[in-house]
Amino acid sequence: MKRAGIHLVFAGGSLLKPWLLNILACPICKEHPLTVHIIQVESNVLKDSASLAKELVIHFKKGVLSEPSLKPVHNLSSSKDVDKWLAAARNAFASLAKQKPTPTTLQPLVDFLHRLEVLEGILRCEKCRRFYPIGSRIVGVPELLPDAQRDKEADLAFLRKHKDVLPEKLLSGSKPFALKS
């Protein structure tokens, strides 16, 4: 029942928030972080941004926050917020070399990690080159499935749908399926 974890995480019907990138790993080779290509995104209104910042301090101290996961993020959407909030999040992490993690110093991470919701995109493991669709069958839901449980036709159709924005390396050089170049 390798899929159980995935279903539990999304049982509430919530969409993929970049916070999840802190803990996602390739289900096959366990590599972390995964590269994310954001194709379509939405931003939501946060009711209690201050509490989320406090929570991030706890996550940081427990080693849950992953600075490396902020590096392989590619914004292929038209949203300028993604770039702005990602830059703020990276800067906040960089500032921790000189400042302590407090709700104030980690506040800039809140927008990127919690306000964004990725409706469609691709996760990719650069180690084993597998790609995993986000929002292919259900909007906002990443499909981190073992090869045998994947739907080849659906996965290839998803790559074709976004072939104009996705990099050639991903389209023709991915596993377990790739588009012919």
Q: Cα torsion for 99, 105, 111, 112, to the nearest 10°?
A: 10
Degrees (nearest 5) of the Cα angle 15, 67, 21?
20
Find all residues with CB under 8 Å of 17, minimum gap 6, and list them: 113, 114, 116, 117, 118
Name which of 122 and 125 has its Cβ closer to Zn ion: 125
Cα–Cα dist 135/16, whole Å? 9
| CB of 28 vs Zn ion, minimal distance in Å | 5
| CB of 25 vs Zn ion, minimal distance in Å | 8
Name which of 29 and 87 has its Cβ closer to Zn ion: 29
| CB of 14 vs Zn ion, minimal distance in Å | 25
Element (DSSP H or E) covering residue 75:
strand 73-75
In Å, how far from its chain's centre is CA 34? 8
Footprint on this chain of Zn ion (rule: CB under 5 A):
26, 28-29, 31, 125, 127-128
Name which of 152 and 175 has its Cβ closer to Zn ion: 175
| CB of 129 vs Zn ion, minimal distance in Å | 7
**What six digits make up the tokens of 128?**
């084993």
| CB of 119 vs Zn ion, minimal distance in Å | 24
Cα–Cα dist 93/95, whole Å? 5
Name which of 25 and 87 has its Cβ closer to Zn ion: 25
Name which of 100 and 127 has its Cβ closer to Zn ion: 127
